[in-house]
Amino acid sequence: VTDRASGEPLPGANVIIDGTSLGAASDLSGTYIILNIPPGVYTLNVSMMGFKELIVEKVRVSIDLTTTINVILDETVLEAGETVTIVAERPLVKMDMTSSLSAVGAEEIEALPVTEVSDVLELQAGIIKTGNDLHIRGGRAGEVAYWVDGVATTDVFGGGMGVRVENSAVEELQVISGTFNAEYGQAMSGIINIITKEGRSNYNGQIKTYVGDYISNGDEFSVLKSVTPTTDAQTGSVVLQDQKEYPLKDFNPNYNAEFSLSGPVPIIGNKLTFFANGRYLFDEGHLYGREWFTPVGTTGDSSLVPMNPYKRYSTQGKLTWAANPNMKLSYNVFWNKWDQDRFYSQNYKYTPDGVPERHGTGTTHILSLNHVLSPSTFYELRVNRLYNEFKQYVFEDPLVKPDYLVWVYPDTAGQSGFQLDLDDPDDAQEFENIKAARRQFDYIVDPDGPLGYVHPDSATAPASYSFFSAGMDMDHYYRSTAYWVGKLDLSSQVNKVHQIKSGVEVRSHELILNQYTLRPKTKEGSSEAIVPFEPAIPDISTTYHSEYNRKPREFSAYVQDKIELDDIIINAGLRFDYFDANSNIPVDPSDPNIYYPYKNENIYKNYVAPRTQLSGQDLADYLATFTKYTPEERRAFMQKKVDAKTQLSPRLGIAYPITDRGVIHFSYGYFFQIPEFQYLYDNPDFKLSPQGGDAIFGNANLNPQKTIQYEIGLQQQLTNDIGIDATLFYRDVRDWVGTSPLISTPIPSVRYSQYENKDYMNVRGITVKLEKRQSNNFSARLDYSFQIIEGTYSNPNDAFNAYQAQEEPRLNLLPLDWDQNHTLNGSVVLRVSKWIFSLIGRYWSGRPYTPDIARGETVGGAALIGLRENSERLPDQKSVDLLINRQFPVGRFDFNFFINVYNVFDQRDEVNVYGDSGTARYTTQINPSTISYNSNRIGTIQDFVNQPGWYTTPRQVQVGMAIGF
């Protein structure tokens, strides 16, 4: 704070943040520091006796960054109470940013045609989206850590966001793709940090709703209505005449309704505020099938059926209690539920109910205490409880079955065939007589009876190049992920230069999984299957059933110092991590299965016992004792507990201002992450199949994966409202999860592979962000990334598949599946009077795929039978989204009418292709003109080749309104 007339600093000036109890007084050098400010947009009030009061509006505060507001006060010569109001400009260059990050505020999100947090994330430089997965700087999808309100909320089983946060609840969304501070752990690629809104002293609210529809004429999304065989009069061959239907020409509903409300709790006063948010979303989807058949093989009603519908409910409630100016307590709860009745499967296009349904629910509770100990020191204590549940099945009851009728074939006396209903006592008695007479019969499903599970062999195509006419997925999958997090952080602005932050964190996990594949029920005491088919849940000792409950534990501690000098800013830190998988691995890797010794004594005698060097009576005594052990007792001496893992991670970031409009930054760090828990605990009892075959087992003894990351970047303000941020980076990833060579077992033809730390990857690239902040009624942003992503294997299971194909272990580096070299995202927001026009444009270069050689092109013993993996590229992807919004203020209320158009030009880009043709439109291996007619074939060959799921989502238009105050 300085005096305009003299240029001297002003000590004793009061600097207050309006609407809060936060503030400070300037010291002898005119400097003031206000700590512990939640991210958001604020108004700053600066006052001092003898000077005009100064109000600075629209001051944005972001996570972990210092916002510098220097003010100049004018002496007052008029009446007291005169004020000067100025509007702060959002800085284009963040002088203390020592690594790459992007921050998006609530106002920016609201102005874009986006409906999900993931839509905002994929626009940021360095991020690649493949399906529902996000890859930051070339890493696997599970290498991203998700944080909400200062605590981790990652789903540790397979990565991904563990809590659903709606756009209207986001105060600030931050993506750290560079060398993040020591505070953040269990991530290698980046941090996605979300701060949610909280209530303030004024009431605010909004109700928003819209309805949408897919509008596209693409033949790719057609569905057969009928197929009629006719005979060609000249050739005598059968010709198929098909009639198609285009579901996207009809109404394909997309409904949305959401609300938010915040303010002080009535009666209690401004010390207790609330924020509430809720949303309902339903999307019928753009992929359709037709119910020509039911899963039990009976005739369906031929109705169109959506095959990728999605429904979601989500709510959030946040209470904030400012007990006194130095203490704040908040409680934030999230609840979400989603349902997917089916997901698209090409084979089941005309038997759509054979595809399993998916359901998920989750709750998250975050309790935070913020306590200011002095104007320069405060601590934060947070407790988080996260719970996610997922389940998948065709029928919820695993033992449900259809009713069966009996068809009796004609006998030798010429009696005609007839049908029996076993629920009828007379027919049931007749059936017993027929069986006694050894007459031939078949069981058939009662078309008027209930649906249920039928024999697994039913899920096969009745002819070549045909869709299924019966069958269903036989798997039942249930999983829950839960953990407690306790986190304590202490921050102190020791002086103007040093801000020290340290903390500890404890995480206690619980993972529960129950997965099985239904098998034919057998007669008691026999291996003979019951006829007609009855489903049965396989015994836990078999390879068809996996179940576990695991409780790993984590502890971490860190210390970091933010050093802010006039000429340089340094972020230096050190992190310690401890992880205990709290599980076991086999003592003898060649004999891992705790179930075999008592389930199949012959296998034990013939293949295991010889290695024990026991014989005669000693062996008999050993077996007699061993078979008395329970699985838990057996596990105690056949498996051993894994050791805990510890790791130290240094972090360093430097920002060097070169002018008042430019800064260079450099950062370096070691980052460690325990692999996703699915790789630690997959099939934890190491069950082997006596029928032979290869399997993959989890490994609770996996080491942390390691990344060393370097980056150097430049931020430069080019004009008063345009800035650029360019960063070069390199990532070296070691101890990536892969699979081991196949391990032989005492059982012939039975081998297995374990997950192990063996894969390697490196990424090098550049990101460029060009931003024009709001001026002259519009703002714009351009994010470009160039990356080269190479590694040994894209997926941890790829090496296992290579071993099965008898391929040599890969030693060279190949482009990984998400090696999208060029990513360009741009957005423009135009504000004219009460209108908002915004556009998002995307261009993504094609990702790699492995080509195939068409049949007939390989001849001779030395012919090449395969092409180099990921040696070709998919077509490029491009799209444009549009938002048009018109505001109508009416008193305290704002009415907004808007239109969202996604994929404005209805681009039909291919996200997958046939390996021989390089396109999704045809394959050289299937030539319809040379394939003879088969009356058992379901559908046509052309429709069988068409893959609607291999194209980008078609154009969608949403029309809605919002009422806010």
User: How far, in Å, CA of 751 to CA of 743, rounded?
Assistant: 5
Q: What is the mean pLDDT of residues 712-734?
A: 96
pLDDT of residue 233: 77
Q: Which of the two residues, 625 and 776, has the higher pLDDT score?
A: 776
Q: What is the mean pLDDT of residues 728-732?
A: 96
User: How far, in Å, CA of 937 to CA of 465, rounded?
Assistant: 7
Q: What is the mean pLDDT of residues 553-573?
A: 95
Residues in Cβ contact with 78 at an 8 Å cutoff, skipping those fewer than 6 apart = none
Residues in Cβ contact with 146 at an 8 Å cutoff, skipping those fewer than 6 apart = 152, 153, 154, 160, 161, 162, 163, 192, 194
Residue that has been written with the tokens 């009431």 in this structure: 203
pLDDT tens, position by position, 98-121: 999 999 999 999 999 999 999 999
Question: Phi then psi for 196, rounded to 5 degrees?
Answer: -90, 160
Judged against a pLDDT cut of 80, whether residue 619 lies above it is answered with no
Q: How far apart are the first and last CA of the chain?
A: 36
pLDDT of residue 436: 86
Judged against a pLDDT cut of 90, whether residue 902 lies above it is answered with yes
Confirm if 493 and 377 have CB atoms less than 8 A apart.
yes
Judged against a pLDDT cut of 80, whether residue 633 lies above it is answered with no
Q: Which two tokens stand for residue 854?
A: 């068409």
User: How far, in Å, CA of 273 to CA of 20, rounded?
Assistant: 12
Least confident of 216-220, 242-246, 290-294, 546-550: 216-220
DSSP annotation of 198 reads -
pLDDT of residue 605: 54
SS (H, E, C) 581-592: CCCEEECCCCCC
pLDDT of residue 520: 95
Q: Of 899, 901, 905, whose CA–CA distance to 878 is shortest?
A: 905
Confirm if 587 and 522 have CB atoms less than 8 A apart.
no
pLDDT tens, position by position, 527-544: 889 999 999 999 998 899
Q: Which two tokens stand for residue 523?
A: 């007669």
Q: Which of the two residues, 804 and 705, has the higher pLDDT score?
A: 705
Question: Phi then psi for 28, rounded to 5 degrees?
Answer: -60, -25
Least confident of 91-100, 772-781, 801-810, 860-869: 860-869
- Residue type (1 letter), 254: N
Determine how many CB atoms are found less than 10 A away from the CB of residue 814: 19
pLDDT > 90 in the chain, percent: 75
User: How far, in Å, CA of 929 to CA of 945, rounded?
Assistant: 13
Residues in Cβ contact with 630 at an 8 Å cutoff, skipping those fewer than 6 apart = none
pLDDT tens, position by position, 362-391: 999 999 999 999 989 999 999 999 999 999
pLDDT tens, position by position, 664-680: 999 999 999 999 999 99
Residue that has been written with the tokens 């370096």 in this structure: 668
Judged against a pLDDT cut of 70, whether residue 854 lies above it is answered with no
pLDDT of residue 860: 43
Query: Taking all residues of the chain, what is their mean pLDDT, rounded to a whole number?
Result: 91
> What is the band of 610 on the pLDDT scale with cuts at 50, 70, 90?
low
User: How far, in Å, CA of 672 to CA of 155, rounded?
Assistant: 17
CA 901 to chain centre: 24
pLDDT of residue 460: 92
pLDDT of residue 234: 78
User: How far, in Å, CA of 95 to CA of 98, rounded?
Assistant: 8
Judged against a pLDDT cut of 90, whether residue 615 lies above it is answered with no
Judged against a pLDDT cut of 50, whether residue 857 lies above it is answered with no
Judged against a pLDDT cut of 90, whether residue 218 lies above it is answered with no
User: How far, in Å, CA of 10 to CA of 48, rounded?
Assistant: 9
pLDDT of residue 614: 52
| pTM exceeds 0.85, yes or no | yes
Residues in Cβ contact with 866 at an 8 Å cutoff, skipping those fewer than 6 apart = 852, 853
pLDDT tens, position by position, 474-532: 999 999 999 999 999 999 999 989 999 999 999 999 999 999 999 999 998 788 899 99
> What is the band of 576 on the pLDDT scale with cuts at 50, 70, 90?
very high
pLDDT tens, position by position, 29-51: 999 999 999 888 999 999 998 89
